[in-house]
Amino acid sequence: MSSGHSIVKADLEARSPWSCNNVRSEVIISPSATAIDGTLTAPGSKSMTNRALLIAALAEGTSRIAGLLRSDDAYWCIESLRRLGIRIDVNDDEATVYGAAGNWPVQESELYVGAAGTVARFLPPLLAAGEGRWKLTGSRRMNERPLKPLLDRLVGQGADIAYEGEAGYLPFTLHGQRLQGGEVTIPGTVSSQFASGLLLAAPYARQQLTLRLEGETVQRDYIAMTLQMMGKFGIAADISADGQSFTVPSGIYQAQSLRLEPDISTCCYFWALAALANGRIRVEGVNPATLQPDLELLNVLEQMGCIVTRGTDWVEVQGTAQLKGGFTVDMQRWSDQTLTLAVLAVYADGPITMRGAAHIRHHECDRLAAIAAELRKLGIEAVEYEDGLTVNPGQPQPALLDPHDDHRMAMALSLLGVKTSGIRVANPGCVSKTCPDYYERLAALGIAVT
């Protein structure tokens, strides 16, 4: 990954009508003239939104999903389901999904998944569990992200896959002939989404399916979130004593009405804002017992000297005048916040090392190489490892930063402007993958956003 000043071209085709700021080439973030003190409600969970939509589509009956995240990933999920013949009515943050009881109404169509990793990993098993022939395509970056471990298992389960390019990558045509069932083993080291996709489809296999995880599993909490959502729709998996295998009974999901949790990953940027600005941010609607692993950031913020107050349905962070550093953190469970912690480390009183996050090299960009390169543009020393990095504190210099068309890079890098003048972030529209109104939310809290 180059550490030069060229800006990665935006993958504009992956932006949806729910996106904002696409016409703006850069955003300038400046420190607030007043103390940061605010209360907000975060948008719905991206992970739970797409799980709920996909399950509801295959359920029997009509489901109502409140707290929907209106982001690019959710938009392309909904559009793919509509092209499969599923009726979905969306009103603000609520969706009504008319389930097809396990049979895709349209058995031949072309489906575009945008840059949505969840859709690209969850939809193929659900298609293979039915009968039909569908072409799947994605954005430029999504076509570069690996799917082979998952797709090989689908072929082993009876699906036929014809690739247009390199095997194991989008685009391809999938001929579903229903999953066979039985025992399937998949490595957990690359992405927990492979396991989640197979689990979501498992109830519709010809025979009962048992999924066994091979080796260490990254972001295992997201598998627990998948099982939890399946349980809400009436399918409860049996988990082995060692937690490495899951037996899913045959059946049909039953329609539900439910409200999704806020997206904890998005909440983290606002809690980090409070930490950096020595301010106060309360996020309403947060269940401190959530399975979303990024809640771990709160423990690290406490370690850095912040005051964290956890209510029954809210969490508040009060920042500190000087963040503490000088420690190492295992990011494997909550790797999406590696970039956020890397930015916080710039202003700590000692270096912070993050390890266990090798898998984020295969996300929207090579996140470890990208964050190290951008911090170096600011004059910050960042030492990169295969599975993480060490960020040494320093005084950042003004710079135009490249988010590498990655929503998490853009949201994390923008936080630098809370403390340092002259921070410019290119391609601000890329935040629409998770939080389209991110910059509007920052401005509402008093941050100068130009």
Catalytic amino acids? 336
> Rounded distance, CA 364 to CA 342, Å?
17
Strands (E), 82-218: 87-91, 94-98, 108-112, 131-137, 160-163, 172-177, 182-187, 209-214
Q: Structure tokens of 409?
A: 């890079």
Q: Structure tokens of 427?
A: 């391609």
> Rounded distance, CA 428 to CA 265, Å?
18
CA distances from 413 to 89, 140, 327, 441, 450 (A): 36, 23, 21, 16, 15
Give buried/exposed letters for 153-163 (b at 16+ CB in 10 A, else e). bbeebbbebee
Chain position carrying tokens 């999704």: 260
CB 170 within 8 A of CB 142: yes
Q: Structure tokens of 8?
A: 């990665």
Looking at residue 93, its amino acid is: D
CB 111 within 8 A of CB 137: yes
> Rounded distance, CA 345 to CA 390, Å?
9
